[in-house]
Amino acid sequence: MIRLWPLGLALGIGALVLVFTKTAPREPALSPLAALGHEIFHDKSLSVSGQQSCASCHRAEFGHASAHGIEKGGPDMQATGLRNVPSIRYVSTRSALTFDKEGKALGGFFWDGRAASLQAQAMQPFLNLSEMANPDAASVVQKLSRSTYAARFSELNGSSIWQDPGRALTAMAEALAAYQREDRDLHRFDSRFDQVMQGRATFNAAEQRGWALFKDEDKGNCAACHTAEPGADGKPPLFTDNSYDNLGVPRHPALRRPQQAIDHDLGLCKNTSLPKDVPIATLCGAFKVPSLRNVAVRKAFFHNATMTDLREVIAFYATRDTDPKRWYGKGPVFNDLPVKYRGNVNRSEVPYGQKSGDQPRLSEQDIDDVLAFLQTLTDADLADLVAKRRSATAAANAEVRADRLAASPRAANTP
């Protein structure tokens, strides 16, 4: 920005000088449709309880993911969800679920890929009995018609929109999709990793080692699913190949429907839109591979939110097969799957495929280094949060690490 200042203020003469001052670049303005979507996203009045909006579960300070992992909702905010609330950052370019020539599932929205587009994804929470709990489209649209932005909704969609609840709900979802596509905070690409790739920063020693382990096909092999290459459009990597994997993660003991002693979540194979020629049984237990961008600010991990510490997640990958008692206790492994589907669990790709008692492919130092690298994937607006969390947890991690090697609290509390 250029400002003109009277030089006479300093020198007593009537001249002008040019003074260059830095100003932050202005964010591009949202389109009218996306601006409407922003208001809908933050509007709690669209839920039956009047206490829950999209933003209630997709919190900006946690990378637009949950503050808890599993959220409460429903008409009285007492219903408990059954899956970890995923981040909505970096999902706007995702496409509908498809299967490649090898039969590998790719794309789709939600953990099981059941929504085919941003619009379809945006509609479902409004009608989910464990979330915003509206019984039908008409109930949502009635609330929408009483909102402070109802006139703008009419301007964009025509006044007759209110007479057709189905069309109005679709229009509402299109506004939410536009917001997710246009809001820069939902696809910033300004993490330290991005800065390093652009030559504007460098990794420290631990981050550099972690980056190497992340790509090493004989060690971490994380990049096999969390791809670290730029996309076909030239954009920076999303750290997901948008595929599905069956990890055999431990059961979350608190996730139960009241009428069932054990409620297995089978993931992709319960998606009702799967092609008829797909061997559905082989997909049971598979869930979407999420992006690792902003993984260090998330509060819970995996589809069932069974873990709450990122270092523990990395350790699970490294020692699931070499130290199964640490994760499953004295009971059977892969205890969140029915016995008949446990053969679907990924045991062939590194870092898996070892036997109990073998040396893990990642050492304790390696795990620390991979963690250091993953923290570089944090968007700039969240970087301070990661730094504070890292400082607060470093001492605690050091104290419990030796105990974790001997016996995991998870194993001690698992039947």
Q: How much is the pLDDT for 1?
A: 44
Task: Give the model confidence (pLDDT) of 11-53 as tens digits.
Answer: 333 443 344 334 445 567 999 999 999 999 999 999 999 999 9
Residues 177 and 265 in one domain: no
Q: Are 54 and 62 in contact (CB under 8 A)?
A: no
pLDDT mean over 89-106? 95
Residues 198 and 266 in one domain: yes
Distance CA 224, CA 125 (A): 32
SS3 state of residue 101: coil
Residues 379 and 262 in one domain: yes
Residues 143 and 246 in one domain: no
pLDDT mean over 210-215? 98
Task: Give the model confidence (pLDDT) of 289-298 as tens digits.
Answer: 999 999 999 9
CB atoms closer than 10 angstroms to residue 404: 19
Residues 232 and 320 in one domain: yes
pLDDT mean over 347-353? 96
Residues 50 and 71 in one domain: yes
Residues 75 and 197 in one domain: no
pLDDT level of residue 358 (50, 70, 90 thresholds): very high
Distance CA 119, CA 174 (A): 5
Q: How much is the pLDDT for 412?
A: 44
Statement: residue 401 has pLDDT above 90: no
What percent of the chain has pLDDT above 70?
85
Q: How much is the pLDDT for 71?
A: 96
Residues 329 and 402 in one domain: yes
Statement: residue 230 has pLDDT above 50: yes
Strand 79-80 and strand 72-73: the pairing is antiparallel
Q: How much is the pLDDT for 2?
A: 41
Statement: residue 375 has pLDDT above 60: yes
81 assigned to some structural domain:
yes
Residues 396 and 345 in one domain: yes
Count of the separate structural domains present in the chain:
2
Question: Counting Cβ atoms within 10 Å, is residue 4 exposed (0-12), middle (13-18) or buried (19+)?
Answer: exposed
87 assigned to some structural domain:
yes
Q: Which residue from 25, 19, 26 is spatially nearest to 2, judged by alpha carbons? A: 19
Tokens of 21: 């001052």
Question: Does 333 or 257 have the greater pLDDT score?
Answer: 333
Tokens of 415: 């039947």
Statement: residue 396 has pLDDT above 90: no
Domain termination residue (choose one: 136, 170, 186) = 186
Residues 75 and 95 in one domain: yes
Q: How much is the pLDDT for 22?
A: 43
Residues 224 and 362 in one domain: yes
Domain with residue 349: its CATH number is 1.10.760.10
Statement: residue 394 has pLDDT above 90: no
Write out the H or E segment, with its range, that includes residue 38. helix 32-41
Write out the H or E segment, with its range, that includes residue 80. strand 79-80
Q: How much is the pLDDT for 408?
A: 52
Q: How much is the pLDDT for 51?
A: 98
25 assigned to some structural domain:
no
DSSP code, position 115 = B
Q: Which residues contact 65 (CB under 8 A, 6 or more apart)?
A: 58, 59, 85, 86, 87, 88, 294, 297, 298, 299
273 assigned to some structural domain:
yes
Q: Which residues contact 8 (CB under 8 A, 6 or more apart)?
A: 14, 15
Q: How much is the pLDDT for 18?
A: 41
Statement: residue 132 has pLDDT above 80: yes
Q: How much is the pLDDT for 362?
A: 98
What percent of the chain has pLDDT above 90?
80
Q: How much is the pLDDT for 405?
A: 53
Statement: residue 5 has pLDDT above 70: no
Statement: residue 397 has pLDDT above 60: no
Q: Are 70 and 80 in contact (CB under 8 A)?
A: yes
Q: Which region among 60-74, 165-179, 261-275, 385-399 has the lowest average model confidence (pLDDT)?
A: 385-399
CB atoms closer than 10 angstroms to residue 412: 11
Q: Are 152 and 36 in contact (CB under 8 A)?
A: yes
Question: Does 407 or 315 have the greater pLDDT score?
Answer: 315
Task: Give the model confidence (pLDDT) of 141-200 as tens digits.
Answer: 999 999 999 999 999 999 999 999 999 999 999 999 999 999 999 999 999 999 999 999
343 assigned to some structural domain:
yes
Q: Are 113 and 120 in contact (CB under 8 A)?
A: no
pLDDT level of residue 386 (50, 70, 90 thresholds): confident
Alpha carbon of residue 118 to chain centroid:
14
337 assigned to some structural domain:
yes
Q: Helix and strand tally (H, E) in the chain? A: 14, 8
Statement: residue 263 has pLDDT above 90: no
Q: Which region among 81-95, 147-161, 289-303, 381-395 has the lowest average model confidence (pLDDT)?
A: 381-395
Domain termination residue (choose one: 142, 163, 186) = 186
Q: Which residue from 196, 189, 144 is spatially nearest to 169, judged by alpha carbons? A: 144
Residues 137 and 67 in one domain: yes
50 assigned to some structural domain:
yes
Domain termination residue (choose one: 126, 152, 186) = 186
Distance CA 173, CA 46 (A): 13
Q: Which residues contact 6 (CB under 8 A, 6 or more apart)?
A: 14, 15, 16
146 assigned to some structural domain:
yes
The residue range of the domain holding 80 is 32-108+117-186
